[in-house]
Amino acid sequence: MTDHGMKLENLHPDLPLVQNALALSHNYARRLIRPGDTVIDATCGNGGDTEFLAGLVGPDGLVIGFDIQAEAIARTTDRLAKAGLLERCQLHVASHDRMTALVSTQVRAVLFNLGYLPRGNHAIGTQAKTTLPALAQALARLTAGGAVLICLYYGGDSGFDEYQAVLAYIRTLPVRQFSVQKIEMANATNCAPIFICCEKLKD
Ligand SMILES: C[S@@+](CC[C@H](N)C(=O)[O-])C[C@H]1O[C@@H](n2cnc3c(N)ncnc32)[C@H](O)[C@@H]1O
């Protein structure tokens, strides 16, 4: 590990310097999340991110997961059970805009991997009408120094509505409360996903 908690394999000189949105989100999460933390996976899907977060929070931490599809939560549960990580996770078949109702504690990080379930129904993707309230609730739930990390997919079956709404929303966040960063590919020929970090500033 480095001083910043990054795993050395992510800094290997043979790896490309430019990383995709998912790799950036995981690397930010590695820097941010400590053993014992409570974090949220707002879009469990196939459970890859949930498993990753469960590894970061360790046996004394907690990952609270959301997905509207029972199929996604079943896949996530199966994956966590196989990895021996299920006990440190609390999963909800529920929309992430019910976060305030279902989560009473402050959290260190909230991950949003927006879009549709890979190997699932592409018609059931995240939508601005629930994503924006969920983002607001996630930001309100953060501890000082915590962050909301977003992989924003657009184009193709994801369309452009949510993408435009999320970009418009993050521009409105008060600069004294949040540092907001957006990283996108400048020369991609397709709609490469965008990475967004909203960090809650310390008082
Ligand atoms: C791109 S996938 C997530 C990938 C996942 N993190 C993984 O590692 O496999 C997006 C997921 O968001 C879910 N989703 C859509 N609308 C949602 C909502 N309102 N609340 C929670 N999850 C939602 C979809 O069912 C889908 O499984």
Count: domains in the chain: 1
How far apart, in whole angstroms, are the C-alpha atoms of residue 28 and residue 80? 22
- pLDDT of amino acid 5: 44
pTM: predicted TM-score of the whole model, two decimal places:
0.94
User: 186 lies in a domain?
Assistant: yes
- pLDDT of amino acid 9: 54
150 band by pLDDT with thresholds 50, 70 and 90: very high
13 band by pLDDT with thresholds 50, 70 and 90: confident
33 band by pLDDT with thresholds 50, 70 and 90: very high
User: 68 lies in a domain?
Assistant: yes
Pocket test for ligand 1, best of 126, 154, 158 (most atoms within 8 A of CB): 126
66 CA closest ligand 1 atom index = 21
Taking alpha carbons only, the member of 164, 119, 181, 142 closest to residue 42 is 142
How far apart, in whole angstroms, are the C-alpha atoms of residue 93 and residue 74? 9
User: 80 lies in a domain?
Assistant: yes
- pLDDT of amino acid 2: 47
Sole residue written with tokens 């899907």:
45
- pLDDT of amino acid 200: 98
120 CA closest ligand 1 atom index = 27
Residue 98 belongs to what domain range? 8-200
7 band by pLDDT with thresholds 50, 70 and 90: low
Q: Two tokens at 88?
A: 């440190």
Q: Is the pLDDT of residue 12 over 80?
A: no
Ligand 1 binding pocket (C-beta < 6 A) is 43-49, 66-69, 72, 95-96, 113, 115-117, 124-126, 130
Q: Is the pLDDT of residue 125 over 60?
A: yes
What percent of the chain is modeled with pLDDT above 70?
Answer: 95
Q: Is the pLDDT of residue 21 over 60?
A: yes
User: 161 lies in a domain?
Assistant: yes
Q: Ligand 1 centroid vs 69 CA: distance in angstroms?
A: 8
* Phi and psi, residue 161, nearest 5°: -65, -50
Three-state SS for 65-86 is: EEECCHHHHHHHHHHHHHHCCH
User: 3 lies in a domain?
Assistant: no
Q: Two tokens at 138?
A: 């996630």
User: Contact at 8 Å (CB) between 156 and 189?
Assistant: no
Q: Ligand 1 centroid vs 188 CA: distance in angstroms?
A: 24
User: 1 lies in a domain?
Assistant: no
User: 2 lies in a domain?
Assistant: no
Q: Take atom 8 of ligand 1 and give the residue whose Cα is closest.
A: 48
User: 24 lies in a domain?
Assistant: yes
How far apart, in whole angstroms, are the C-alpha atoms of residue 133 and residue 129? 7
Average pLDDT over residues 166-195: 96
Q: Ligand 1 centroid vs 117 CA: distance in angstroms?
A: 6
Output the domain CATH number for residue 70.
3.40.50.150
Q: Take atom 16 of ligand 1 and give the residue whose Cα is closest.
A: 126
Q: Ligand 1 centroid vs 181 CA: distance in angstroms?
A: 22
Q: Is the pLDDT of residue 182 over 90?
A: yes
Q: pLDDT tens digits, residue range 48-77?
A: 999 999 999 999 999 999 999 999 999 999
